[in-house]
Amino acid sequence: MSTIIMNGKKTAQDIKDELKAEVALLKEKSIEPTLAVVLVGENQASQVYVKNKKRACEYIGIRSLSYELDCTTSEEELLKLIHDLNSRSDVHGILVQLPLPKQINEGNILLAIDPSKDVDGFHPINVGNLSVGREGFVSCTPAGIIELMKRYSIPMEGKKCVVIGRSNIVGKPISMLLLRENATVTICHSRTKDLALECQGADILIAAIGKANFVSKDFVKKGAVIVDVGINRLENGKLCGDVAYDECFDLASAITPVPGGVGPMTIAMLMKNCVLAATK
Ligand code: GUN
pLDDT digits 0-9 by tens, 242-280 = 999 999 999 999 999 999 999 999 999 999 999 999 999
List CB contacts of 242: < 8 A, sequence separation 6 or more.
164, 207, 208, 209, 210, 211, 212, 213, 214, 215, 228, 229, 230, 232
Q: Are 78 and 110 in contact (CB under 8 A)?
A: no
pLDDT digits 0-9 by tens, 178-228 = 999 999 999 999 999 999 999 999 999 999 999 999 999 999 999 999 999
pLDDT digits 0-9 by tens, 58-76 = 999 999 999 999 999 999 9
From the CA of 275, how far away is ligand 1's center (Å)?
18
Spatial separation of the C-alpha atoms in residues 258 and 242, rounded to whole Å:
9
From the CA of 1, how far away is ligand 1's center (Å)?
36
Out of 120, 138, 231, 272, mutate this one to test ligand 1's pocket (max ligand atoms within 8 Å of CB): namely: 120
* Mean pLDDT taken over the chain: 98
pLDDT of residue 1: 77
From the CA of 219, how far away is ligand 1's center (Å)?
28
Collapsing DSSP to helix, strand or coil, 21 comes out as helix
DSSP character at residue 193: S
Ligand 1 atom with minimal separation from the 97 CA: 9
Residues with CB under 6 A from ligand 1: 95-98, 120, 140-141, 169, 266
Domains in the chain (CATH in brackets) are 30-115 (3.40.50.10860), 140-262 (3.40.50.720)
Out of 39, 49, 232, mutate this one to test ligand 1's pocket (max ligand atoms within 8 Å of CB): namely: 49
